[in-house]
């Protein structure tokens, strides 16, 4: 029996090893991404937004909220509000709803989506594989009057984009246990061009590909260490890679740091207020030339969980 258990543990570790290798391979192509989807530093707590297969994997009804203000002090800088609710209806089925609002310069974009996830057990030691489907709508407004227009006669600035509604269909896969995770996803498979029939005004959205992985190491009885990585790819721009390392002390305090390749360094902190409530904060310092013109980025995160049967949890999961 002991030998069989050890074998399962090895298979679990092997699965994540393969997952991380696949992640690195997927991130290698030199041609990929544009920064179109929302950007998060605390992505490890906000996975449902990018991967529908995450819905319900915490085994509880949970509500999450995130507010991010980027490049503080820069006029028209990105501002994001995110709210998600998800639930595990049983050991196999999870579902959730998400609302995201992005404001960038003259544009205001709102997204409402529903997630459905189906979970398959992969081994007796808790390894599971979840498949997810996302569906919803996107609304885009662009107000050109907010721009400094130097050639007012150009047709592209004559008509705003008002409440352009487009559908969203996304898919994802998420392999996880109590110790680690690996996932790949495309939150929206549809490539959309917003336009006005009377002008040449348009805005094109291409699909974003994500890969995410992390693992929790028990350094001592009261200290855990979790490295994590997020890769994002969109055709037409460099691959975006986020690396992070967080420490959890006494199941209460979280401290960590992150690095966004060629873009920013970050400090992260979190506190498990109770068995149900977790709050987190992240600060980004821009390492590009744009950093000379802003005061960094701030991100606040809140998670509230209602556990099955109002039963408290002794050791909250670290992702």
Look at residue 287 in the predicted model and tell me its pLDDT: 94
Look at residue 35 in the predicted model and tell me its pLDDT: 41
Query: Which residues, listed in sequence order, are joined to residue 237 by a DSSP beta bridge?
Result: 32
Look at residue 126 in the predicted model and tell me its pLDDT: 86
With H, G, I as helix, E, B as strand and everything else as coil, classify residue 72. coil
Sign of the alpha-carbon torsion through 44, 50, 55, 61? positive
Q: Which token pair is 293?
A: 């013109």
Look at residue 164 in the predicted model and tell me its pLDDT: 85
**Residue closest to 249 by CA, chosen among 225, 222, 272:** 222
Q: What is the pLDDT along the chain (319 residues), one digit of tens a residue?
A: 444 444 444 444 444 444 444 444 344 443 333 345 778 999 988 899 999 999 999 988 999 999 999 999 988 889 999 999 999 999 899 999 999 999 988 889 999 999 999 999 998 888 999 999 999 999 998 877 666 666 666 655 566 777 789 999 999 999 999 899 999 999 999 876 545 444 444 555 678 899 999 999 999 999 999 999 999 998 777 889 999 999 999 999 999 999 999 899 999 999 999 989 999 999 999 999 988 899 999 999 999 998 654 444 445 577 8
**Residue closest to 283 by CA, chosen among 42, 27, 24:** 42
**CA 284 remoteness from chain centre:** 16
**pLDDT per position as a tens digit, 162-192:** 778 999 999 999 999 989 999 999 999 987 6
**Residue closest to 157 by CA, chosen among 198, 201, 104, 193:** 201
Q: Which token pair is 73?
A: 């002090």
With H, G, I as helix, E, B as strand and everything else as coil, classify residue 206. coil
**Residue closest to 164 by CA, chosen among 192, 186, 145:** 192
Question: In the Cβ-directed half-sphere of 105, how many Cα atoms lie within 13 Å?
Answer: 5
pTM to 2 decimal places? 0.81
The answer to whether the beta carbons of residues 8 and 1 sit under 8 Å apart is: no
- What does the alpha-carbon distance between residue 143 and residue 99 come to, in Å, rounded to a whole number? 22
**pLDDT per position as a tens digit, 12-31:** 444 444 444 444 434 444 33
Look at residue 52 in the predicted model and tell me its pLDDT: 97
Torsion angle in degrees (nearest 10) through CA of 105, 236, 51, 270: -60
**pLDDT per position as a tens digit, 280-303:** 999 999 999 988 899 999 999 999
**CA 54 remoteness from chain centre:** 10
């Amino acid at each position: 029996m002991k030998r069989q258990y050890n074998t399962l543990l090895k298979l679990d570790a092997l699965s994540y090893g393969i997952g991380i290798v696949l992640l690195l391979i997927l991130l290698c192509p030199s041609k990929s991404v544009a920064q179109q989807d929302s950007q998060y530093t605390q992505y490890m707590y906000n996975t449902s937004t990018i991967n529908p297969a995450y819905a319900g994997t915490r085994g509880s009804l949970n509500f999450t909220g995130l507010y991010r203000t980027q490049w503080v002090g820069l006029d028209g800088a990105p501002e994001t509000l995110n709210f998600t609710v998800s639930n595990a209806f049983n050991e196999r089925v999870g579902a959730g709803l998400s609302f995201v609002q992005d404001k960038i310069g003259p544009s205001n974009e709102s997204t409402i989506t529903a997630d459905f996830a189906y979970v398959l057990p992969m081994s007796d030691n808790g390894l599971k594989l979840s498949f997810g489907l996302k569906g919803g709508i996107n609304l885009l407004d662009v107000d050109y009057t907010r721009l400094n227009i130097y050639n007012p006669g150009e047709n592209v600035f004559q008509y705003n984009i008002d409440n352009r509604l487009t559908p969203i269909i996304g898919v994802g896969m998420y392999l996880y246990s109590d110790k680690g995770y690996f996932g790949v996803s495309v939150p929206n498979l549809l490539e959309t061009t917003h336009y006005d029939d009377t002008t040449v005004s348009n805005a094109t959205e291409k699909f974003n590909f994500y890969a995410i992985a992390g693992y929790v190491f028990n350094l001592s009885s009261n200290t855990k260490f979790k490295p994590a990585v997020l890769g994002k790819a969109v055709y037409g721009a460099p691959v975006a890679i986020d690396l992070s390392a967080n420490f959890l002390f006494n199941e209460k305090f979280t401290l960590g740091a992150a690095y966004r390749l060629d873009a920013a360094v970050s400090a992260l902190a979190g506190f498990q207020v109770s068995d149900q409530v977790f709050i987190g904060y992240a600060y980004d310092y821009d390492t590009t030339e744009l950093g000379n013109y802003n005061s960094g980025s701030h991100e606040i995160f809140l998670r509230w969980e209602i556990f099955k049967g109002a039963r408290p949890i002794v050791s909250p999961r670290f992702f």
